[in-house]
């Protein structure tokens, strides 16, 4: 059917027509909001490279979660920054560690919230790597027992979903086995299955104080050039018992999200990471872009690529826009 009989612009004439034929719809239910917990009381420190995002003590973070729930955001991803760090990252599996205390307090005050906990050692180790170091190398198999121990401590403290982000081989299986053996077979695992070695993590490393003290993480995080490898990683995690799989980062890896969506039927998460957030914030503050429109366009593109779940620092701002459209 050729012009002038068929005119695609007929269905773009006004906002109502555009809305009723829209193929991809963002929802507040799509969002998971990442938050950073630190020791102390009444602590709220803005992260310089992430405007609007804070390191907060448990009392303040509990209050902010109440605010996010009022916006319709019901899922939180918690990262902990301990008071002290050591070679073994012992604060990560301490019964009275920062995440464990936060989980208990939040669950005590807020009954209906989904708490997802990041399971990794980089925020807790003095060397900043995601596992146990011997002879200058991260020891994959020795690290697994520590990751399982962290996951179990989170489950005992009240975590709803465990999210391993370390990229050690076999960690999903080790965590699933530990959870099941201790009566936590109903706790889900959201695995950072395809986590790339990305320069977009820079602001997060400031927020979590997790920059490696030597070397880098390229030995265990994925090469940005690879897609087929991501599909192998996701398949392995599913075989090991992952309930939700993830691609991280999101914006530069939309093709990976799309390939994963086409290949697998598992729930698929995508992490709209700190660098992606900070670039938009910086350009918006300089007046170079319409920050809100760019934010919504990015989030829509992640959903359009196939993500079911979007982990994003934009969650609160995007929720306000989506809520206003429903009125």
Peptide bond into 249 cis (omega under 30): yes
CA distance 300 to 186: 31
Q: Following DSSP, what letter does each residue of 114-140 receive, concatenated? A: EEEEEE-STTTBTT--SSEEETTEEEH
Contact between 133 and 89 (Cβ < 8 Å): no
Contact between 121 and 130 (Cβ < 8 Å): yes
CA distance 80 to 208: 7
Residue 161 to residues 14, 27, 135: CA-CA distances in angstroms?
42, 21, 33
CA distance 25 to 170: 35
Contact between 205 and 211 (Cβ < 8 Å): yes
CA dihedral 234, 242, 245, 66 (to 10 degrees): -160
Contact between 150 and 143 (Cβ < 8 Å): no
CA distance 172 to 10: 50
Tell me, yes or no, if 248 is annotated catalytic.
yes
Residue 327 burial (C-beta neighbours within 10 Å; 0-12, 13-18, 19+): exposed
Give me the residue label for tokens 């004439």. Answer: 13
Contact between 194 and 258 (Cβ < 8 Å): no
DSSP H or E run through 208: helix 202-208
CA distance 175 to 155: 11
- Catalytic residue of the set 85, 111, 156, 248: 248
Active site residues: 195, 248
């Amino acid at each position: 059917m050729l012009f002038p009989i068929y005119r695609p612009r007929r269905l773009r004439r006004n906002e109502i027509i555009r809305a009723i034929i829209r193929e991809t719809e963002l929802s507040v239910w799509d969002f998971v909001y990442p938050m950073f917990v630190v020791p102390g009381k009444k602590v709220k420190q803005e992260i310089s490279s992430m405007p609007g995002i804070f390191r907060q003590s448990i009392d303040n973070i509990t209050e902010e979660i109440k605010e996010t729930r009022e916006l319709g955001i019901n899922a939180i991803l918690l990262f902990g920054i301990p008071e002290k760090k050591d070679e073994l990252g012992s604060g990560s599996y301490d019964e009275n560690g920062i995440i464990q205390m936060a989980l208990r307090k939040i669950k005590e005050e807020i009954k209906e919230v989904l708490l997802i906990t990041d399971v990794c050692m980089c925020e807790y180790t003095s060397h900043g790597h995601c596992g146990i170091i011997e002879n200058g190398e991260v020891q994959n198999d020795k690290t697994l027992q520590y990751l399982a121990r962290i996951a179990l401590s989170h489950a005992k403290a009240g975590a709803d979903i465990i999210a391993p982000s370390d990229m050690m081989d076999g960690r999903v299986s080790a965590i699933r086995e530990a959870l099941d053996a201790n009566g936590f077979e109903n706790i889900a695992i959201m695995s950072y299955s395809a986590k790339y070695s990305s320069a977009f993590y820079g602001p997060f490393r400031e927020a979590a104080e997790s920059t490696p003290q030597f070397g880098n993480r390229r030995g265990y995080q994925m090469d940005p050039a690879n897609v087929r490898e991501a599909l192998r990683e996701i398949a392995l995690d599913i075989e090991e018992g992952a309930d939700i799989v993830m691609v991280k980062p999101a914006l530069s890896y939309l093709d990976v999200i799309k390939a994963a969506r086409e290949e697998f039927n598992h729930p698929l998460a995508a992490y709209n990471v700190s660098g992606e957030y900070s670039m938009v914030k910086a350009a918006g503050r300089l007046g170079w872009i319409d920050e809100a429109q760019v934010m919504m366009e990015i989030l829509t593109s992640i959903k359009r690529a196939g993500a079911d779940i979007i982990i994003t620092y934009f969650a609160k701002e995007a929720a306000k826009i989506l809520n206003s459209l429903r009125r």
